[in-house]
Amino acid sequence: MSEPESSKQLLHLVLGGELKDVTRVEFEDLSQIDFVGAFPSYKAAYDAWKSAAQRTVDNAEMRYFILHAHRLLDPETGREHKA
């Protein structure tokens, strides 16, 4: 189920890297983090996340994440947005 595009900018960051252990979120080498980008909506971030994840599908330790940065920057906005 996709969410409708909003006229309000909600900052999302997409990043990834190799994990030390696939059962936890701890990166093998922080200097090798792949910062995919910053996006104004969840949909745009999701599309970028999916593309990055598909490029690295053969590496079982590689994971990409969407960070809801708007929730960290403005908790009021975070409460309004339903993920």
* 66 Cβ contact partners less than 8 Å away, ≥ 6 residues apart: 12, 13, 14, 42, 45, 46, 49
Report the pLDDT value the prediction gives residue 12, as an integer from 0 to 100. 95
Contact 38, 69 (CB under 8 A): yes
pLDDT band at 76 (very low <50, low <70, confident <90, very high): low
Contact 16, 54 (CB under 8 A): no
Residue ranges and CATH numbers for the domains of the chain are: 12-80 (3.30.70.2400)
pTM for the full model? 0.74
Closest CA to 38 of 61, 17, 9: 9
pLDDT digits (tens, 9 = 90+) for 21-72: 888 888 889 899 999 999 999 999 999 999 999 998 888 889 999 999 888 8
Contact 38, 49 (CB under 8 A): no
